[in-house]
Structure 1
Amino acid sequence: MVATNSQFTDIQNHWARPFIEGLRSRNIISGFPDGTFRPNQAMNRAEYAAILRKAFTMSVKRAYIPFSDVSSSFWGAPAIQQAYESGFISGFPDKTFQPNERITRIQVLVSLIGGLGITVNNTALLQSSLSEIYQDAGLIPPYATERAAIATGTGLVVNYPNLRLLRPSQSATRGEVVSFIYQALVYLGQAPKIQSDYLIIPPQFNSGNTDNNLQQIVKVSHTREFRGVWLTTVWNSDWPSKRGLSSQQQKDELIKILDLVQSLNLNAVVFQVRPEGDAIYPSQLEPWSIWLTGTPGKAPEPYYDPLQFAIEECHKRNLELHAWFNPYRAKTSTKSAASVRPHIAATNPECVYEWGNQLWMDPGLQIVQDRTFEVMMDVLRRYDVDGIHIDDYFYPYPIAGQSFPDNKTYADYKSKGGTLNLGDWRRENVNKMVKRLAEGIKAIKPHVKFGISPFGIYRPGQPPGSKGLDQYGELYADVKKWLQEGWLDYLSPQLYWRIDQAAQSYPMLLKWWVENNPKGKHIYTGNNLGLLDGKAWKIEEITQQVEISRNLKNQLSLGNIYFPMKGFLENRENICETFKASTYAQPALVPTMPEIDNTPPEIPAELKSENGQITWKPAATQDIRSWTLYYQEGSTWRLINVLPVSVTSLKAPAGTYALCAVDKKANESQGVVVTVK
């Protein structure tokens, strides 16, 4: 009885649509053979147990006692047994389960709080406030009051159409059950927040106050900015410094790099994980990279996972990690060690061509398209990355007098009725890949950002006076179309020229990119540190480029990404001192993306000050990434620190502070005020 449609036919204008689609995309719910979901239909107890079984990981808490009205052959018997054993639901005194009985709204909420073992410290305050939140709070059964309060305080309650009516004894519809379960997944940090007018916003208390008063809450903010750096692994450019280092040496080098990134008040690392059809992480799809150990296919010794290590260390430092993939390069040199399985040059050599001294995959072949897509989706599924990022290597950069040898692939396309000319066909191959990636990312983890860093010039003459490589005509990358279609979340055009280079002027090109961005995607410009030499390229060139980017923030120029990291590691032209002193003197969070998620997290709990020490309660959900600390200066608040989520106390000089919680999408809560005397 499963409707496999990508969209149920009867939810288009339904209030619960985003919750329904959220659970459907996770294969937690199914519909009916006619393609409907029937969101207004009441749900019975057996159906509810079946959804619980798919939604949550259940552990046995008690032995199952068979119900007299649930035979072993009943379709829902396994789900009922598992839901009972895990403490989500119970039976009735007469030893029946009544599987076809409708379940009420309060029963669902009580079940979720009990089964998931959710508790809060301010339960008494929440219970005393229920009558202020719900007009019908008096109808909540006494046995359910405590768990109704906890459900309210943890954001599980969704009330449609009237926010003030809980309707505890009313039968829960399929749409309502789905919304409650989805919100439970949000609380657990297993699903992104959904913006809805029908969510009950948890009241904000400070249970640490002895007088039980509401704590002062303030709205604070700062100027957001994406401050990233590309961390290159190919050629051992940035990390590791050479092949064959021990695992500990690799870790030590990476920690040193990330400490430097953090000290510069940067907030994102774009980490190269697929340099040439290989992997800087354990993969069943591609071999270990030669740049780690010196031997393709060989894991680090002692064994560790460099990508997982990098993610954990970045997040400790409040740095986003975007996994950077080269989509089609198969090998940087034909003279290096032979490829090993499962490298595509070993498994499917017919899909890879020599191009100069490199090997390049054929973007027109389905097996190449599938391999590139699946590699990125594999990382997306397995790792807590903040972004998926691809660079400018689509069809390879041209070699004078040579043509890319995909004539057989193109002839096959034509023989099957294809009508596009060679250039349009190549662009369409890349377009399909970009669109597929965008859709795949949003289907699996909608909160993960998709970014592309193309060559900095779209086409010569666009804008007028610009000259250089025609990436539309030679790399077959129609970046303008990707912006028009909205297939990405951010674009990082590589503007690797000086301000005064007339034909490739930094401000001229940046202005063109922000003016050709109809869907309002973020622009994080790529900046070139590789030429900093104190002569043609001085430090003022970089700082002025940053200011040019900032001056276009109203057109969504919202940050910069620097290449290479080595520019910082070598401290060329004292760039580190300059950035710390002026360019990035203050910390900043990355910009939010409201189209992905704009729901702020709950405020920090139990904030106190005693003997110059500020303390607060650990994060209540796994969705919290960090804390921001503001200092009051007159009538304004200044961000002074971004703290990792593991920190729950700090020493502070006398003054007034506000602490906010920040989630994985960089949404920031309101600030809770505390005074240090």
Structure 2
Amino acid sequence: RRNSVNQFIKRVYSSIKNEKPYVKFGLSPFGIWRPEHPSSIQGFDQYDVLYADAKLWLNEGWVDYFSPQLYWPINQVPQSFPVLLGWWNEQNHKNRYVWPGISIGRFEGEKQADEILNNIMITRGMNPNAPGIVHWSIGPLIGNDSLQTELTTKPYNKKAVVPALSWLQNSSPGIPDINYEFSENAVSITIENDEKELSNWIVYYKYDEKWSEKILSKKQKNFGLPYTVEVPAAEEDSLALPVVLFLKEVQVTYIDRFGIESDASVQILNK
């Protein structure tokens, strides 16, 4: 029976890639493979009871992302979040993305936000090249304004793109075909693209020496930037006037459906 499950997982992955290789396939198994793996871990044996050899699925790379259900508190030694995450990372022989699943609803009050933020930051520290995480479930987050604020103002304060599936696609998209229109006060950037192959596009822009970026959906064809922006003066100098920054450079890249970023179209401004 276990081999039948294994062959099913392998067949699903290969069938998806044969039909639409850019479609991401992931699995979220129980967080413990077998008790005593690693040695301090105790709990349910999915390998024996469910015939689920989740370790093999990750070993063989039959996934694009892998989200073991690590729903326990960080300091719960028999099911320690960082210990289990480290063990699953060691099984990642094909360098897929290990994005642990964490539970939102198992904690309440101040402990809830603290535990979730710690889960996120531990994962970013242990998986610096793939710092994603999967929240289970969305229910406890809906209507929880304080938790939403904690997440969106701290670890999730910037938009991000899904990491590239580099094991499926080695080549990058071509340099974007961009139309720049210069008005009296701003530059307008319009993309010309094959929408089927595009996932997102990114505008990098520099005011004086400060770079920023804007991640845009492929459905948004146009983005504008003023030639100048005002930023507040230092807080300690309440009488100082705002500082005016000048737009110096714009770079635009494409992100394809594999998550791979193109080289940039570059526009230098002399305004």
For each residue in 1:403-435, what CA deviation from the matched residue of structure 2 results, as whole angstroms up to 9, or x when unmatched? xxxxxxxxxxxxxxxxxxxxxxx2112112111
Shift in CA distance, 481/446, structure 1 to aligned 2, threshold 3 Å: same
Contact residue 604 and residue 616 of structure 1 kept, 8 A: no
* Aligned position for 2:219: 646
SS of the counterpart of 1:438? helix
Match of 1:449 among 21, 24, 36: 24
* Aligned position for 2:104: 529
Contact residue 190 and residue 223 of structure 2 kept, 8 A: no
Structure 2 residue 220 is the aligned partner of structure 1 residue 627:
no
Matching residue's letter, 2:26: G
Counterparts of 1:128-143 in structure 2, within 5 Å, are: none
For each residue in 1:361-395, what CA deviation from the matched residue of structure 2 results, as whole angstroms up to 9, or x when unmatched? xxxxxxxxxxxxxxxxxxxxxxxxxxxxxxxxxxx
Shift in CA distance, 600/636, structure 1 to aligned 2, threshold 3 Å: farther
Deviation at 1:531, TM superposition (A): 2.2
* Aligned position for 1:549: 123
Structure 2 residue 156 is the aligned partner of structure 1 residue 563:
no
* Aligned position for 1:439: 14
Distance 1:447 1:481 in 2: 23
Structure 2 residue 182 is the aligned partner of structure 1 residue 607:
no
Distance 1:514 1:606 in 2: 41
Deviation at 1:577, TM superposition (A): 1.3
Higher helix share: 1
Contact residue 179 and residue 192 of structure 2 kept, 8 A: no
Match of 2:70 among 492, 495, 498: 495
Structure 2 residue 257 is the aligned partner of structure 1 residue 667:
no
Shift in CA distance, 673/524, structure 1 to aligned 2, threshold 3 Å: same
Matching residue's letter, 1:662: I
Contact residue 514 and residue 557 of structure 1 kept, 8 A: no
Which structure has the larger Rg?
Answer: 1
Structure 2 residue 190 is the aligned partner of structure 1 residue 616:
yes
* Aligned position for 2:166: 594
Distance 1:649 1:493 in 2: 39
Question: What TM-score does the superposition give when structure 2 sets the normalisation length?
Answer: 0.84
Deviation at 1:633, TM superposition (A): 6.0
Contact residue 607 and residue 674 of structure 1 kept, 8 A: no
CA RMSD of aligned residues (A): 2.0
Shift in CA distance, 543/466, structure 1 to aligned 2, threshold 3 Å: same
SS of the counterpart of 1:446? coil
* Aligned position for 2:233: none
Contact residue 100 and residue 134 of structure 2 kept, 8 A: yes
* Aligned position for 2:114: 540
Distance 2:134 2:164 in 1: 17
Structure 2 residue 72 is the aligned partner of structure 1 residue 486:
no
Identity of aligned residues (%): 34
Structure 2 residue 3 is the aligned partner of structure 1 residue 428:
yes
For each residue in 1:556-601, what CA deviation from the matched residue of structure 2 results, as whole angstroms up to 9, or x when unmatched? 54311111112331226x1221222121111111111111113221
Shift in CA distance, 437/444, structure 1 to aligned 2, threshold 3 Å: same
Shift in CA distance, 576/465, structure 1 to aligned 2, threshold 3 Å: same
Distance 2:3 2:174 in 1: 44
Contact residue 618 and residue 646 of structure 1 kept, 8 A: no
Match of 1:475 among 50, 58, 67: 50
Shift in CA distance, 518/620, structure 1 to aligned 2, threshold 3 Å: closer
Contact residue 558 and residue 591 of structure 1 kept, 8 A: no
Counterparts of 1:102-141 in structure 2, within 5 Å, are: none
Distance 1:657 1:515 in 2: 41
Q: Point out where structure 1 has 5 or more consecutive residues left out of the alignment.
A: 1-425
SS of the counterpart of 1:468? coil
Contact residue 200 and residue 256 of structure 2 kept, 8 A: yes
Matching residue's letter, 1:630: Y
Shift in CA distance, 463/635, structure 1 to aligned 2, threshold 3 Å: farther
Count of equivalent residues: 248
SS of the counterpart of 1:551? helix
Structure 2 residue 34 is the aligned partner of structure 1 residue 462:
no
Deviation at 1:621, TM superposition (A): 4.9
Distance 1:529 1:577 in 2: 14
Distance 1:637 1:670 in 2: 17
Distance 1:466 1:549 in 2: 19
Structure 2 residue 157 is the aligned partner of structure 1 residue 582:
no
SS of the counterpart of 1:527? strand
Distance 1:488 1:494 in 2: 16
Shift in CA distance, 443/614, structure 1 to aligned 2, threshold 3 Å: same
Counterparts of 1:266-285 in structure 2, within 5 Å, are: none
Shift in CA distance, 557/628, structure 1 to aligned 2, threshold 3 Å: closer
Distance 1:561 1:483 in 2: 17
Matching residue's letter, 1:547: M
For each residue in 1:599-628, what CA deviation from the matched residue of structure 2 results, as whole angstroms up to 9, or x when unmatched? 221222233142213222431352112211
Contact residue 190 and residue 222 of structure 2 kept, 8 A: yes
Higher strand share: 2
Structure 2 residue 76 is the aligned partner of structure 1 residue 505:
no
